[in-house]
């Protein structure tokens, strides 16, 4: 699978990541090479193989549904780029 200029721009948009226009072709080349490596998987016979999502085949542990965290809002917001009255500020979303 080879990716071209417009494929890369589409993927970058899906990842919400701006790319310098001048670098898009270089990314297309690199990503195509990586996908070339990944395509070696096609040759593997996996018809009857179960997908493996956890290295120890363990189920997700559940805990009792109760509040265990203390309120750290002020500490956490102290490192935010822009906060007013406990709210994170972003550019206006609704006109």
Partner 1 sequence: MMHSKSIVELGTGLQTGEFSSVELTRHFLQRIERLDKDLNAFISTTPEQALAEAESADQAIKVGQAGPLTGIPIVQKDIFCTRGVKTSCGSKMLDNFISPYDATVVEKLKHAGVVSLGKANMDEFAMGSSNETSFYGPVHNPWDKGRVPGGSSGGSAAAVAARLAVAATGTDTGGSIRQPASFCGITGLKPTYGRISRFGMIAFASSLDQAGPMTRDAADAALMLQAMAGFDPKDSTCANQPVPVYSATLSDPLEGLKIGLPREYFGEGLDPAVAASVEAAIDHYKRLGAEVIDISLPNTGLAVPTYYVVAPAECSSNLSRFDGVRFGYRCQQPKDLEDLYKRSRGEGFGAEVKRRIMIGTYALSAGYYDAYYLKAQKTRHLISDDFKQAFETVDVIMGPTTPTPAFGLGEKVNDPVTMYLNDIYTIATNLAGLPGVSIPVEPVNGLPVGLQIIGNYFTEAKLLNVAHRFQQETEWHRLTPELESVASD
Residues at the site binding partner 1, with contacts judged by CB under 8 A? 3, 8, 11-20, 23, 27, 30-31, 33-42, 44, 46, 49-56, 58, 60-61, 63, 72, 75-76, 78-82, 88, 90-93
CB of 22 to partner 1, least distance (A): 13
Structure token pair of residue 23: 């670098």
Q: How many CB atoms lie within 10 A of CB 8?
A: 21
Query: Min. distance of Cβ 93 from partner 1 in angstroms?
Result: 5
Identify which of 5, 70, 88, 55 has the alpha carbon closest to the alpha carbon of residue 13: 5
């Amino acid at each position: 699978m080879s990716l071209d200029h417009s494929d890369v721009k589409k993927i970058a948009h899906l990842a919400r990541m701006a790319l310098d226009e001048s670098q898009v072709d270089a990314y297309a080349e690199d990503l195509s090479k990586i996908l070339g490596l990944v395509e070696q998987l096609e040759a593997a016979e996996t018809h009857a193989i179960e997908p493996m999502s956890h290295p120890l085949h363990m189920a997700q542990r559940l805990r009792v549904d109760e509040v265990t965290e203390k309120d750290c809002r002020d500490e956490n917001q102290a490192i935010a780029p822009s906060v007013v009255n406990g709210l994170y500020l972003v550019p206006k979303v609704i006109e």
